[in-house]
A and B are shown apart, each in its own frame.
Chain A
Amino acid sequence: MQEELNLVQRARQGDHEAFARLYEAHFDKIFRYLVLKIRNQTEAEDMTQQVFIKAYESIGSYQLQGVPFTAWLFRIAHNQMVDFIRKESKKPTVPLDESFPIKDDSDLEGEVETKIEMEKVVLATKQLTIAQREVISLRFAGGLSITEAAKTMRKSEGAIKALQHSAILALRKTLLAGEQGGKQQTIQ
């Protein structure tokens, strides 16, 4: 944590190496968060770049005494995503099959399984409330700690834990309902 604080301090003073270290540390997390949120790889890629460009432009005004850097970065990502959804709300949704990335190192069979699993899980997250979905995205895709997620969402840690619990419970129910529906269809 202290290491990150030092990097942020240096980046604020124009140290590009420090910013590069922050970039490397958070790049994958921001990308995963955005992929899960908008379910479109191309858009998530563009947006990830925009998040870091925005962060680079704004790092001078970032307040060290305010929210943690990670929370600040995810707020930028969240705002970018909200803007995107607002603009794109009238356009048709890209089918998941064409949008979700596949891990580079997986074999074909694994890819298909991953894709199916991902599709089920991501579709299940659509049944969650906005707050539950945000917690799941920040915790699992973004890899944020409870404290960081709380700062990002401007909620207490207790509230985040409760949301996390209810979200996983709701996901479980949705996934189970989906499985049972599938079995019934097979039997019929």
Chain B
Amino acid sequence: MGNNKQFNNILNDCLERLITGQETLEQCLQRYPEYSTELEPLLRTAALMNKAVDVKPSADFRTRARYQMQLKIAESKAPQRITRVVPRWAIAVCTVMLVFVLGGGTVLASEGSMPGNPLYGVKLAAENVQLKLARSQEKKAELYVAMADERVTEMTWMVNNNKTQGLEAAVQRLDSYYTKIGTLPLAGNTGIAFSSASKSNQTSAPGGTVAATTNPQTALLPTTPTLSAGATDKNAITTPAPDTTLAPIPTVTVIQAPSAENRGSNYVTVTGIQNSIYNNSKLMNILIYGAITQPDKIQQLLDSDKLPESIKPALRRILAASTIGYQNAISNLNNAQP
């Protein structure tokens, strides 16, 4: 029994060294010459097993899985409705201002109003006041995303209720929002920077192959060949076509991060929508949320039998504008200097 236990320990010691690539089979046998006869066939079988299971996920699957994980995270951080995005003090100021103009209670009553409703104009005015009160470009971007979401919701309501007379105006507003979203000068570094200390102190991984994948310098940079560091002729790629079970997402150009030399050797910056999973930026999540959900809703509108034919060309242009607007905003945010 004691011998068995001892042999199990020796076998395990050899396996550990073999699996992690610390020693070859021969070196293991030399380490325990008195057990080599018994160890050798077992270690040869283990080496065969180790080789057989050394499979890696395809680059395509890896990218798709990251993308879906990113969607999951983006969904869990979906932006709130516009009335919640705006700070309370801004709502208070907005309310006070409009109280003077329109009378108390009107603004709050207008929040749920739809086009055609007498209070709808108040709702739009309140949104504009919120925009004026926004203290940063990033806050404005958040508001524009929320306003675009509101307009798409209103358009859906209008189509479903056969009140299509306000559709054209809504389309024009959406167009201007997407233009603004794509052109706002966004600031702030949303990439992730890892200190050299964290790079050198990685999660332990028993398998040699696995250990290689845990290095964030390589693992957190895009792993698809077209995104490998130094591939200067492939700085711009597009996201993979999403799984058909997912909401459509616009094609997003990914711009490679500045070189390590330019950013300092202690930092590795991850860019692009595929890697936005790695940043904590609230705005990035909001932009991704908008980029994922709004084109989908617009496409659903286009697919609706109730949508007047006359509005379809303009709506198709809006679909493209939403893609471009979010694409540019995400690129702007990624390229923003810290």
Interface set of A (CB-CB < 8 Å, partner B) = 1, 3-4, 7, 15-17, 19-25, 27-29, 31-32, 35-36, 45, 48-49, 52-53, 56, 100-104, 114, 117-118, 120-122, 136, 139-141, 143-146, 148, 158, 161-162, 164-165, 168-169, 171-172, 175
Question: Is the C-beta of B72 less than 8 angstroms from some C-beta in chain A?
Answer: yes
**3 shortest interchain CB distances as A-B pairs:** A143-B207, A161-B8, A121-B52
Question: Is the C-beta of B254 less than 8 angstroms from some C-beta in chain A?
Answer: no
Query: Could you pull out 23 A-B pairs where Cβ atoms are within 8 angstroms?
Result: A4-B204, A23-B69, A24-B220, A25-B213, A25-B219, A27-B57, A27-B62, A27-B213, A31-B56, A32-B55, A52-B69, A56-B72, A100-B55, A103-B54, A117-B48, A117-B52, A121-B52, A136-B49, A140-B46, A141-B53, A161-B11, A164-B11, A165-B4
Q: Is the CB of A21 within 8 A of B280?
A: no
Count chain B residues whose beta carbon lies closer than 8 angstroms to a beta carbon of A.
54
Please report the C-alpha to C-alpha distance between residue A3 and residue B203 in the assembled complex, in whole angstroms: 6
Q: Which of B5, B7, B19, B219 has most chain A Cβ within 10 Å?
A: B219
Known A-B contacts A7-B203, A17-B279, A139-B19; A103 and B220 likewise in contact (beta carbons under 8 Å): no
Give 18 A-B pairs besides A23-B277, A24-B213 with Cβ atoms closer than 8 angstroms: A23-B69, A24-B219, A25-B213, A36-B53, A52-B69, A56-B69, A104-B58, A118-B53, A145-B206, A158-B5, A161-B8, A162-B4, A162-B8, A164-B15, A168-B45, A169-B42, A171-B49, A172-B41
Question: Is the C-beta of B201 less than 8 angstroms from some C-beta in chain A?
Answer: yes
Please report the C-alpha to C-alpha distance between residue A165 and residue B10 in the assembled complex, in whole angstroms: 10
Q: Is the CB of A17 within 8 A of B207?
A: no
A residues in contact with B96, CB < 8 Å: none
Q: Is the CB of B220 within 8 A of A21?
A: yes
Please report the C-alpha to C-alpha distance between residue A56 and residue B72 in the assembled complex, in whole angstroms: 9
Q: Is the CB of B205 within 8 A of A143?
A: yes
Q: Is the CB of B68 within 8 A of A28?
A: no
Q: Is the CB of B54 within 8 A of A122?
A: no
Q: Is the CB of A104 within 8 A of B56?
A: yes
Interface set of B (CB-CB < 8 Å, partner A) = 4-5, 7-9, 11-12, 15-16, 19, 41-42, 45-46, 48-59, 61-62, 65, 68-69, 72-73, 76, 192, 198, 201-207, 209-210, 213-214, 216, 219-220, 277-280
Q: Is the CB of B210 within 8 A of A29?
A: yes
Known A-B contacts A49-B68, A146-B12; A175 and B54 likewise in contact (beta carbons under 8 Å): no
Q: Is the CB of B57 within 8 A of A31?
A: yes
Q: Is the CB of A139 within 8 A of B15?
A: yes
Please report the C-alpha to C-alpha distance between residue A28 and residue B56 in the assembled complex, in whole angstroms: 6
Q: Which of B9, B41, B53, B54 has most chain A Cβ within 10 Å?
A: B53
A37 to chain B, nearest CB (A): 11
A residues in contact with B9, CB < 8 Å: 161
A residues in contact with B49, CB < 8 Å: 121, 136, 140, 168, 171
Q: Is the CB of A15 within 8 A of B55?
A: no
Judged by DSSP, the binding face of B is helix
A residues in contact with B53, CB < 8 Å: 32, 35-36, 118, 121, 140-141
B residues in contact with A22, CB < 8 Å: 203
B residues in contact with A136, CB < 8 Å: 49
B90 to chain A, nearest CB (A): 25
Question: Which partner residue on chain A sits nearest B215 by CB separation?
Answer: A24
Q: Is the CB of A28 within 8 A of B210?
A: yes
Say which residue of A1, A29, A45, A171 sits within 8 Å of B65 (CB atoms): A45
A residues in contact with B41, CB < 8 Å: 172
Q: Is the CB of A15 within 8 A of B213?
A: no
B208 to chain A, nearest CB (A): 9
Please report the C-alpha to C-alpha distance between residue A7 and residue B198 in the assembled complex, in whole angstroms: 11
A1 to chain B, nearest CB (A): 6
Known A-B contacts A7-B203, A158-B5; A16 and B45 likewise in contact (beta carbons under 8 Å): no
Question: Which partner residue on chain B sits nearest A113 by CB separation?
Answer: B51
B residues in contact with A17, CB < 8 Å: 192, 278-280
Q: Is the CB of A15 within 8 A of B280?
A: yes
B residues in contact with A56, CB < 8 Å: 69, 72-73, 76
Question: Which partner residue on chain A sits nearest B204 by CB separation?
Answer: A1
A residues in contact with B48, CB < 8 Å: 117, 121, 175
A45 to chain B, nearest CB (A): 5
Please report the C-alpha to C-alpha distance between residue A164 and residue B65 in the assembled complex, in whole angstroms: 32
A residues in contact with B55, CB < 8 Å: 31-32, 35, 100-103, 118
A residues in contact with B277, CB < 8 Å: 16, 20, 23
